[in-house]
C-alpha cells in the first residue's frame, strides 16, 4: 500500500485558522492506530511547471514558482508566499496525480493532502494554490488512462475552483454538497456551478445529511459513468469545525466516508481519497477525523 504524504506539507503560515500540522497528525494517527505502516508513506516529490499547465495558466504557475505573487493574490489565497509554501503545494499537486495513477492500478489511491477545490486556472483562493483534483483528472485523460472522471466534493464549502475548471465538460462531472451561506458565497452555483450542487443549511446534522447523500450520490455516479472518482473528503462538516456550521458527529463523518468509498468501489470505479478542509481548534482532533476517512476507504477496499 502506498499513501502519499510529505512532511513538507507542514508549513509555517503564521497564526492561521488552517493548522498545516494537521497533515502530520493524520499520518501519525494512521500509524499509531495500526492502519498503515511508516513504510507505506510515499513522498510524491514536487510537480514540475509544465505538468501544471494542463489546467493552470502559465502566469499563475510562474508566480508560485518565482515568488512573485501580488498582494491581491495573497489576499485572495489568504496565505503569504514563501519557498516552503510553494514546495508544499507543488508536492500536494503531485500527490493527488500519483494517488490517481495508483487508484487506476489497484482500485484505491490515498493522499494525506490535496483537495484544493478553491484553486482556479489563474489564481488561488481560500488556502488552495493548485487544483489537484482537476489536474489529476485532466492529466490522466490526456494520457488516455481514463475517458470519464468525476469529483465528489463533500467539503462544507462549495468546490468553486473545480467547478469553474471543469464546467461544460462532457467527460468530467462534479458533485458538491455544501452550505451555500459560507465561502465562496456563490454556492448555489451562480458563478461556477458543479454538475450537481446540493445545498444544506447551517445546523445540518447526521440524519439529514445522510439522507440526502444516500438519495443523490448513487444517481450521480450512474449518470456520470466515471472510471475514476476523486473524493474531496473535507471534514469541516464536523460539529466542532471553526469554519463550518454543520453539526455532523465524528461517527457521522465516518459513516459518510464509508458510504462514499463503498458506493464508488462496489461499482468497480477507481477511488482517490484527498483530505480537503478541516479546521478544528485542536489539529490533532482534525487529524483524527482525516485519519478515519483514510481508514474507512482502506476498509471498504478489503
DSSP H stretches of helix in 107-182: 132-142, 160-166
With beta carbons less than 8 A apart as the criterion, state whether 253 and 292 touch.
yes
List beta partners, residue 125.
128
Q: For Zn ion, which is the closer residue by CB, 18 or 220?
A: 18
DSSP H stretches of helix in the chain: 22-32, 49-52, 58-66, 71-77, 83-106, 132-142, 160-166, 206-224, 250-265, 283-301
Among 41-49, 106-114, 254-262, 271-279, the segment contacting Zn ion (CB under 5 A): 271-279
Q: Determine the Cα–Cα distance for residues 111 and 75; give it in Å rounded to an integer.
A: 27
With CB under 5 A as the contact rule, the residue among 159, 252, 277, 280 that binds Zn ion is: 277
Copy the grid coordinates of residue 39.
513504510
Task: State in angstroms the smallest separation of the CB of 14 from Zn ion.
Answer: 20
**Nearest residue to 88 via CA among 44, 136, 34, 42:** 44
Q: Determine the Cα–Cα distance for residues 120 and 179; give it in Å rounded to an integer.
A: 20
With beta carbons less than 8 A apart as the criterion, state whether 159 and 183 touch.
no
* One character per residue 219-238, x = contact with Zn ion (rule: CB under 5 A): ---------------x-x--
- Is 241 a binding residue for Zn ion by CB under 5 A? The answer is no
Among 28-36, 129-137, 200-208, 269-277, the segment contacting Zn ion (CB under 5 A): 269-277
With CB under 5 A as the contact rule, the residue among 25, 56, 91, 157 that binds Zn ion is: 157
With CB under 5 A as the contact rule, the residue among 8, 73, 138, 155 that binds Zn ion is: 155
Q: Determine the Cα–Cα distance for residues 297 and 302; give it in Å rounded to an integer.
A: 9
Task: State in angstroms the smallest separation of the CB of 144 from Zn ion.
Answer: 33
Q: For Zn ion, which is the closer residue by CB, 140 or 275?
A: 275
Q: For Zn ion, which is the closer residue by CB, 226 or 277?
A: 277
Neighbours of 70 (CB within 10 A): 11
Q: For Zn ion, which is the closer residue by CB, 35 or 275?
A: 275
* One character per residue 58-97, x = contact with Zn ion (rule: CB under 5 A): ----------------------------------------
Among 33-41, 168-176, 250-258, 275-283, the segment contacting Zn ion (CB under 5 A): 275-283
Q: Residues in the site for Zn ion, rule: CB under 5 A?
A: 155, 157, 234, 236, 277
Amino acid at each position: 500500500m502506498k499513501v502519499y504524504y510529505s512532511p513538507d506539507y507542514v508549513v509555517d503560515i503564521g497564526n492561521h485558522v488552517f493548522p498545516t500540522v494537521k497533515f502530520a497528525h493524520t499520518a501519525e494517527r494512521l500509524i499509531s492506530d495500526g492502519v498503515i505502516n511508516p513504510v507505506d508513506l510515499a513522498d510524491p516529490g514536487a510537480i514540475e511547471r509544465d505538468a501544471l499547465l494542463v489546467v493552470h495558466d502559465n502566469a499563475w504557475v510562474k508566480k508560485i514558482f518565482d515568488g512573485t505573487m501580488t498582494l491581491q493574490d495573497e489576499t485572495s489565497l489568504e496565505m503569504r508566499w514563501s519557498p516552503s509554501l510553494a514546495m508544499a503545494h507543488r508536492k500536494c499537486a503531485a500527490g493527488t496525480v500519483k494517488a490517481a495513477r495508483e487508484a487506476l492500478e489497484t482500485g484505491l489511491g490515498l493522499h494525506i493532502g490535496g483537495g484544493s477545490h478553491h484553486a482556479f486556472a489563474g489564481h488561488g483562493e481560500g488556502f488552495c494554490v493548485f487544483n489537484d483534483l482537476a489536474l489529476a483528472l485532466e492529466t490522466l485523460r490526456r494520457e488516455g488512462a481514463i475517458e470519464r472522471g468525476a469529483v465528489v466534493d463533500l467539503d462544507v464549502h462549495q468546490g468553486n475552483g473545480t467547478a469553474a475548471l471543469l464546467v461544460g465538460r462532457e467527460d468530467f462531472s462534479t458533485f458538491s454538497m455544501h452550505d451555500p451561506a459560507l465561502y465562496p458565497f456563490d454556492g448555489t452555483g451562480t458563478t461556477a456551478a458543479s454538475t450537481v450542487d446540493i445545498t444544506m443549511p447551517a445546523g445540518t446534522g447526521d440524519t439529514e445529511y445522510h439522507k440526502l447523500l444516500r438519495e443523490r450520490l448513487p444517481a450521480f455516479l450512474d449518470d456520470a459513468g466515471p472510471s475514476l472518482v476523486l473524493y474531496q473528503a473535507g471534514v469541516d462538516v464536523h460539529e466542532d469545525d471553526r469554519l463550518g456550521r454543520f453539526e455532523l458527529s465524528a461517527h457521522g463523518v465516518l459513516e459518510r466516508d464509508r458510504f462514499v468509498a463503498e458506493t464508488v468501489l462496489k461499482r468497480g470505479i477507481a477511488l482517490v481519497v484527498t483530505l480537503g478542509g478541516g479546521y478544528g481548534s485542536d489539529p490533532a482532533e482534525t487529524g483524527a477525523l482525516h485519519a478515519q476517512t483514510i481508514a474507512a476507504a482502506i476498509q471498504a477496499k478489503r
